[in-house]
Structure 1
Amino acid sequence: MESMKHSTTPRRVLHALCLGSLVLALTACEDVRAIPWPAAGTGTATDSATADATPEPSPVQSADLEATTDEGTAEPVEVAVPDDVVPAPVPAALPEDVVPDEAAPAEPVVVEPVATAEVVVSAAYPDDAVGDYQLGGSYTPPAGVNLVVRDSTSKPAPGLYNICYINGFQTQSDDSDAWLKDHPELVLHVDGEPVADPGWPDEYLLDVSTAAKRTAIADIMAVTMTSCADKGFDAIEFDNLDSYLRSDDALDIDDAVATARLYTERGHALGLEVGQKNTAELGSRGRDEVGFDFAIAEECGVYEECSDFTDVYGSHVFAIEYPEDGDFAESCASPGRPDNMILRDLDLVTPSDSDYVYERC
């Protein structure tokens, strides 16, 4: 309803309102003109008071001001220096090849390389190997031989591929008492008695049934392994890998594999190849799990298992037959027999002994 009233307001009322607004605006303008404004170039009263409190400019500042041109650019100004002011000395230029101490680079720190043990580099098992098995004593090998197996107490044959023999799973007969005295816990016992090899009753089986015992035995064997490397042997064979078969079930093939793995790792670290000794039951585990590089097989012809080794190691198999246990001619004709097969006397004596035997297929 209010909007209707506004729409019907008479024109004269609106005209009067407009005239009143105009009069008020003109009056405001007159009031503004009446305010006293400062003259051009002067400040307000407050500015004047501040200027009075400002100290006079120094002579240098005055000179700077006087040197300002109408265009607003500064001309060079000579500034008088008091007599009691001594200019700071200008340092002499240093020779080009001299570097100030504070800018001299730090001396480089030279770090000497840590000395590491020399790794013995051995020869690889020969593909055309012709071997001799000399565990009963060292002698000059027969003509044509390029591979020799000798006991760890012997020296290698010059110029040939030499394999160092270590009894890794049983005690050597001369060391059996020492093992029982110094390391009785590492000799396998059944019913309180040390277990001996039936074929070699003065040799005791080593107890490789636990990881701790295997490691302790490997630590002891490492001394002999290092000696083999120092003498110049190229490889090692660890005998009696199959001792678990004579343990009255106290040991198994997995114990043998785990122990052999420790031996090959340490042998390889010394730069020596490591061979599997007998134990056709291993199949390819000897190569794939243990890491053997070759095999030495006794009487594989007699037991018709030569191919079990050659199928895994190819030509890197050295076979030894003994006359007491079979016909050597038949062994030479056995399926899968290695090219490197010889006949030796069981005691492996030297040529000076009448029982000495050495033949090749």
Structure 2
Amino acid sequence: MLLGLAVALAVTAVAITALKAGSQSPAAPAAPSALVTPPPKHVPWDYQIGGAYAPQSGVRVVSRSYEDAPSPGAYNICNINAFQAQDGAERDWDSDLLLRDAGGDVVYDEDWGEAVLDIRTDAKRQRIAAQVNAWIDECAAKAYKAVEPDNYDAFTRFPKYLTADQTKALMKLLSAHAHDKGLAIAQKGTLELVADRASVGLDFAVVEECGEWNECGQFAEAFDNNVLVVEYSAKGLSQACSGWSGTLSIVRRDESVVPKGTGGYLHETC
């Protein structure tokens, strides 16, 4: 009798502890990656975020803009701008969600002409996530298998304003929603945050120029070789291929990732 009472009390104590832990958590953790399907590893793939076209024969994974339809017969990744506004799309966002400098001017990523989003408060992150999650819903409705939130590394370019913790907090909101929709979610580059991939809820990586900068090994280790590499130079492709052609998915594209048939189009593999 006493033994039974002791067991019951122990079980109750564990349950209360779990409830307290849950009540203290600021947000539910992202769903386990086992509930979604990441892309196949080490396969031919194509990066088409600048415009869709029929991929070459044998390509099994394709990343496209959320505005485009998936590529028939491939594993499709839906690219969305999550930390910066699309070039010329500032008006798609509430004015106060655009990051501003001390003079009140919008802060831009000058390389791409993209306004940076203000992720510095929880309230703003929630509003930004609501809009990005609506695009994730579109990706799911179009039968994409995964999403690729772009500009995860914006905080590294604008350290005067943004932090890694703010960045991870927004990504957690996006990964939880993507998983709820049955979509895997990619970490776009950002070597600085690979150690946080599990806690943030990221399933695989899309990495630009890891060959160029000798970073492929660190991404490969963090993501168990589920890494899709994009190079933009002959040197980068050569270095990625020499070290990782038997392990990772690698493609070289032109820097503007224009569609096939457009001037400047480039597509090479190992």
In the superposition, the TM-score normalised over structure 1's length comes to: 0.62
Deviations 1:270-323 (A, max 9, x none): 11000000100112202x211101000000111111112101112210000002
In structure 1, C-alpha distance between the alignment counterparts of 2:236 and 2:74, rounded to whole Å: 29
In structure 1, C-alpha distance between the alignment counterparts of 2:254 and 2:46, rounded to whole Å: 12
Partner of residue 56, structure 2: 142
Deviation at 1:240, TM superposition (A): 0.4
- Asked if the contact 1:170–1:203 (Cα under 8 Å) also holds between the matched residues in 2, the reply is yes
Partner of residue 6, structure 2: none
Partner of residue 186, structure 2: 275
In structure 2, C-alpha distance between the alignment counterparts of 1:258 and 1:178, rounded to whole Å: 22
- Asked if the contact 2:80–2:147 (Cα under 8 Å) also holds between the matched residues in 1, the reply is yes
Distance 1:229 1:273, change over 3 A: same
Distance 1:186 1:338, change over 3 A: farther
Specify every segment of 5 or more residues in structure 2 that has no aligned partner in the other structure, as ranges: 1-34
Deviations 1:46-88 (A, max 9, x none): xxxxxxxxxxxxxxxxxxxxxxxxxxxxxxxxxxxxxxxxxxx
RMSD, aligned CA: 1.8
Partner of residue 285, structure 1: 196
- Asked if the contact 2:98–2:115 (Cα under 8 Å) also holds between the matched residues in 1, the reply is yes
- Asked if the contact 2:85–2:117 (Cα under 8 Å) also holds between the matched residues in 1, the reply is yes
- Asked if the contact 2:210–2:236 (Cα under 8 Å) also holds between the matched residues in 1, the reply is no
Partner of residue 161, structure 2: 250
In structure 2, C-alpha distance between the alignment counterparts of 1:267 and 1:166, rounded to whole Å: 12
Deviation at 1:190, TM superposition (A): 1.3
Distance 1:336 1:308, change over 3 A: farther
Rg larger for: 1
- Asked if the contact 1:306–1:337 (Cα under 8 Å) also holds between the matched residues in 2, the reply is no
| Alignment-mate amino acid for residue 244 of structure 1 | F
3-state SS of 1:224 partner: helix
Q: Greater RCO between the two (CA within 8 Å, min separation 6)?
A: 2
| Alignment-mate amino acid for residue 81 of structure 2 | N
- Asked if the contact 1:319–1:338 (Cα under 8 Å) also holds between the matched residues in 2, the reply is no
Q: Percent identity?
A: 35
Deviations 1:90-147 (A, max 9, x none): xxxxxxxxxxxxxxxxxxxxxxxxxxxxxxx964321343210011211111111100
In structure 2, C-alpha distance between the alignment counterparts of 1:296 and 1:213, rounded to whole Å: 26
Partner of residue 253, structure 2: 344
Specify every segment of 5 or more residues in structure 1 that has no aligned partner in the other structure, as ranges: 1-120
The answer to whether the aligner puts 1:315 opposite 2:225 as a matched pair is yes
The answer to whether the aligner puts 1:162 opposite 2:76 as a matched pair is yes
3-state SS of 1:189 partner: coil
In structure 2, C-alpha distance between the alignment counterparts of 1:354 and 1:165, rounded to whole Å: 23
Deviation at 1:334, TM superposition (A): 4.0
Match of residue 302, structure 1, among 212, 228, 251: 212
Distance 1:336 1:136, change over 3 A: closer
In the superposition, the TM-score normalised over structure 2's length comes to: 0.82
